[in-house]
Chain A
Amino acid sequence: MNRLHKYLDNITRTLFYYDFQPLLFFWVLSDVFNNMVLWSTHSMWVEQGQGNTYFLYLAYLILSLSMLIFLNNNKKLANIVTLYLCLNLFSTIRYLVNIFSQEVIVFEVIDYKNLFITLWYSTMWFWIAFKLKRECFFNTLNENCPK
């Protein structure tokens, strides 16, 4: 009970005093609520011939929840965000490959919008992962460096 209290206290402090963590908290929470795993079933995706997409969303959900759980642990959070970024890059690349592997590539305004948003999200995740990893790296350097 004491440990749980300490953990919740840590999370509250992190949300109040840290830079990226509050942003991640709100962003990831909305991501969790938007996750299709919560609002659909695997069979529904299989019917549409996209059974693997369900598992992609599941991976997103697991990583999002992990981020929320390890919000106060910078090292683990950085690793989870890096994994999330990899997943995001995978989705982005899959989307791009899908577009460019069509025989006739027709770009409409909606495609440009989708492409822009996908790349924008990738950039955002890249930036967050970079900042977190950089912070961890500098912390490690400062720990090893005698003052």
Chain B
Amino acid sequence: MNKRTKRKLIRVAKGSISVMLCLVITPFLTIAACLVEMYRYQTVTTSVQELVDLCSYSALADYDPYLLDRFGLMALSQNGDPSAVYQQLMSDNLGVLGQAVTPGILSTTPANPLSGSGSDSTYDVIRNQITDFSETTVLSEFAYEELNIDELMDKLNDLTGLSKVAEAAEAVAGLASSVEALVSSANNLITSLQSIKDNIATMQSNYTYLNNNMYDMIQDLSSSGFELVEDDPSTPDVNERDVSYDDFIYYYSTYLDNNLYYSNNLNTAINNISTALGNLPTQISALKDAAVSAKEAAQAAKNKTVGSAQADQSTQQAADPLETIVTAVEKSIDKALEKFQEQTVDDLLSGVSSFMSNLNMSFYTDSHQDIFAAYPVPQKAKNMINTFMNIALSGTDEANIRQQIESQIYGTFDVGVVSKFIDEIKNDFQATVDDAQSNFTGTIQSSLTDLLNGLIGAIQGLFNLDGFYNPEMNAFLSDAVMAETEAASNPFQQILDSINSLMAAATSFIEAISGLDFFAMLTAVKNLFDAVKSAISGLVTLVNQKITKITQVVGYFANDDLISLYDLFLMSSYVTYNLPNRTSNLSSDSALTGYAYSQIPFSQYEGVTLPVDVQGVAAVIQLIADMANGGSDEMFKGAELEYIVAGTQSELMNQAITFMDIYFIRMILDIPAVLTDPNVTSMAALFNIASWVILIIVIIGEPLVDTILLVNGMSVPIVKTSCYLTPIGIGKLLAKAGSESPICKQLSQSTLGQIPVESVPDSVPFTDPSDFLNTSYQTYCLLIIMFELSEEEILERFSDIVQLEAAMYYKNTDESVFDLDEAYTTLETSSTFTFNSLFNFIDVGDSGSGLFTKTLTREHGY
């Protein structure tokens, strides 16, 4: 372009406005365009974010139905492809935005499997899902199952058949108390009588002393200047007889001081006997009432327990401890009452009353007071001296004088007759009471010897029962499905060994006592002490093992960390109520989630009985050792809760360990009941030197009975007030377990349990009104899980159960594979999209990384 053209263009004004408008408007338009693009961008971004959320949740909708239905857990199905679902949904829905956005890379990454654990804790995912699920249903189940005590108590009122047994048992217990009270009262009475007799003897000797002294004093007074006036003895004049007042006071004071102590003792003794005799009619009346009540109760108990349907010849002839005791007591009472009639008591009371009224005790006290109060008033002394002088002058011989002195002191009562009367009564009654006491004690003691032998035999027999395990549930998981379980060891080995030793030593001890073999008894005592020491050592070891978790639970309280404690409760309860155990009815019961146990793909039953060559506790030890053998099962056969408790591959071992765990808890809980049950303590007390053997045997046996009841689906109160292993308690046991139950059949073979009974409905709940919190096998498992297992152990074992069940379910359903490590609970999505602007010049970056290209990363979970 030449210069001329340039100048022309510059000078030409036309079109300059357009140029100016362009320059002015362009910035405005640019701003407006930017605002439009920003608005569009923001709208699209919001839409895409919502789209990502919706598509992510849609992908999560493909959950694992078995985990939800069976366990209430939520995880992605392992048969689906969440990534494909997500990509398809995103692509389809992004089309709604038209050309505004172009999708880029859409990817998903499942994360947080149910088995997932953080660095500081264990099984975080499954634990939180469990507590999430449990917060309402578990609490309701717990309240429904464990806290309906009133309902249970109401049912008990309807059990009229059982109430008769209870009344009989209570009547016998009342009878024993009455006899005990009678013996106690009788001993008190005998003591009082002996005291009276002793005091009377003292009084008699003192009387002689008194009589002599009185006579001597009068003689001294006479000889000291006083002369008897023979012509007018009725009007002695003291002034004429030159008596020394001081001498009189001296003599008389000495006399009183020497005798007042004994007279007071006599008074006390008489009061004692009066009180004792006054109580006697009441005691006799109470005894009669107790005897009548006991007889009626015993008859009712006999009527209840001796059933014609089951009473064959052998059982009819069998000794009935209850009846034997009642009969023996009846005889003793009748014998005592025969010799100790009320009329005899009335006569005795009348005699004593007469003695008391005739006793002129005031002679001492009043005279004594008068003398000293009057001194030195002459007239009082004169009167007293006149009295004595009249005595001295009234008779001509010594016997006459002494008789007057006696009459002044005792009136007309013959103390010798009273003493003799009391002596006869005392001796007679002593003999009667001794006889009754001996009869009663001897009978009881004889029964107790049988009882103790029966106890030992019964407990040994109970250890032979299949209570330790259900033989049908005998799966032993293969290493392929359960590789990382604990060794199948028995943590209760030492305690079982100790119990075995205790039982053997107790048997030897009884044999030694029966045979009066002193040295054998010493050996048995030593063995008993050794076994007790070993058992205590075993208990301490066991407590040390368990104390860690208990300390942790206590720590929750100490640190005010109630939330953790609450979570632990929820988790433990969820596991307990959601898994079947050996007491579950697998054909009709269901889990907390409503899932029927019958739908769980358990291994098929193949009930076996392990060979047992030995008996009793030793058999149990051998059985548990045999359970450690390997196996090839892929699933348990129903005892899943026991796996949570014990955690071994052997289903039998798990049951046995759970049994022993409950037995251990029951032993601790039963010790107060054993030591406070009057039936046990009275048995033990009457057994004299072997009383503590009884206590030890019952402490071993009582929790065993409780545990066997529990594993057979019955309930046992957490706090018991009475024991089953007594002649009275066995009535309760029969009512509770039913005569056909294995435990009652076993006990009926021992002396303790030879009480033939009518057929009692099975599984009838029975408890004392004072018992507390009747609980089931399931509840004890809950306690063990909560207070003995660590959170890691609970979750690890529960995860194993989930893995086993789900794997078996999918294997049977469609032959697919389930892996808990791939049961993901969250889905992370990464979505790249490009915003297509209306004015492309704004997008200054490269495709995929420019200003309008954005990658959204979100994670959603159940």
Real binding pair: no
